[in-house]
Structure 1
């Protein structure tokens, strides 16, 4: 019996929005555009130490340390942006040097950061992990600022920027499952 070759179905590539250079924030024109999706959760710095060898508890080995924009909401928004969607993040970022760098890095990835809660008294959150050739050895998430900000990150859904009691946000939302129960309940009620 001859082998059946599957028929190829042609796919159309995603259309990317045309950019206007005068009003670009990051890679897209976000000044007046409503986001396609809201990503609610952590936006922080990932600090990752990687070693090319197997590691055990207490090991001291050479490797590389990198700092990258991260957090569940940021990672989701960056992925959506790569697929041509306008993704906005609702999170807490400190109004400090690290926070300014993080917001700029998100904008370079095409993420709408206009609705971030920028705190004067909370630092920018961080996540630190140590990885060896055998996988994740240890990790610590310092997301106290997001937890302390609580429902303040949801203000754009209530104050008219993205929604209000009379006209709630009707678009898509992607949620970070690591949010507090209280904040998840607030999102569900809005």
Structure 2
């Protein structure tokens, strides 16, 4: 990762490529059961991994651009307006006749995710040319973040034009993690959970995180961060292998916590902190998010989470 800079230096800009969704989040007042309705509070907000990461980055004072696709519908207008209020620069292709991607999540009273569904056809059928043309407009010193919601053709095309040692990726889900296979030699940093790592590597489900990270580095990844729920997250690069225990949290909502971890980590790297310190910043951002409702906590700011 980038060498350390003076703490006072301005952060590098970050370009986020990936999912732009309209999230519908249900918080049930009792455990969710099949074959019946459950009383719940419903909330609707912008979502998608790249969108959540971009919004948190903007709150953390990082110049941020979001590149993605939407439909030409009221949800897209609401998302664009929110991004502009957040301070994110949106480069969004509105596709006529398509619906903006939607994500539906059902949460039990303890904040755990009982079920989730996604409709992202607007992205999976998107033209690669839009992403490549927009990518070439990004500042030359920018970090690039991509999420595996993007189709393989777009991921591969972005990897071809990404600045050297500047490409960061998130695996998103077990189903989508394998989309990153061809990108591994070009990734400066890969973030994923243990199940996603086993899916990406076709490994056994009981493979230790240390073995998974070692294999990913052998395939060309510069640095790896593997999360395992409440267990310590595991980090490995060419110089060190560390485990970071997550801080204790009173969970309100798990939505967006992983995205906040990514954004906080990127915000640290953009300011010149080394990866291990940046991860601690990311963990603080995730903690703020776990203790709030929705993917972007109102309490998030750089002053709230940066190292003492």
Which has the higher relative contact order, 1 or 2, with Cα contacts under 8 A spaced 6 or more apart? Answer: 1
Residue of structure 2 equivalent to 1:5:
none
Using structure 1 for the length normalisation, give the TM-score: 0.72
* TM-score between the two structures when normalised by the length of structure 2: 0.46
- What residue number does 1:156 align with? 134
2:159 is the alignment partner of 1:183:
no
The whole-number CA distance in structure 2 between the counterparts of 1:91 and 1:154 is 11
Provide Cα deviations, 1:153-187, integer angstroms capped at 9, x if missing partner: 332124xx337xxxxx5420111123222221111
* Mapped pair 1:107 → 2:73: no
Q: Which runs of 4+ in 1 moved over 3 A?
A: 12-16
Whether 1:122 aligns to 2:98 is: yes
Q: Deviations over 1:13-52 (max 9, x none)?
A: 9989xxxxxxxxxxxxxxxxxx811000001111011102
Asked if the contact 2:135/2:158 (under 8 Å) is kept, the reply is no
Q: Which has the higher helix share?
A: 2
Deviations 1:108-166 (A, max 9, x none): 111101x21122232211101111125212111111101111413332124xx337xxx
Q: RMSD of aligned C-alpha atoms?
A: 2.4
Pairing 1:53-64 to 2, within 5 Å after superposition: 53-64=30-41
Q: Is the 2:15–2:145 Cα contact (8 Å) retained in structure 1?
A: yes
Which residue of 72, 79, 91 corresponds with 2:68? 91
Question: 1:85-107, CA deviations, whole angstroms, 9 ceiling, x for partnerless residues?
Answer: 11101100122222111110111
Where 1:79 maps in the other structure, the secondary structure is helix
* Partners of 1:88 and 1:111 within 8 A in 2: yes
SS at match of 1:100: helix
Gaps of 5+ in 1: 1-11, 17-34, 164-168
1:50 to 27, 32, 39: 27
**Quick one: which of 75, 92, 98 aligns to 2:52?**
75
Extract unaligned runs of 5+ from structure 2. Answer: 1-6, 162-308
Distance 2:9 2:103 in 1: 33
> Relative to 1, partners in 2 of residues 1:187 and 1:171: Cα closer, same or farther, differing over 3 Å?
same
Matched, 1:137 2:114: yes
Higher Cα radius of gyration = 1
SS of corresponding position for 1:116: strand
Cα deviation digits, residues 38-87 of structure 1 (max 9, x gap): 00000111101110211222242211111011111111111111111111
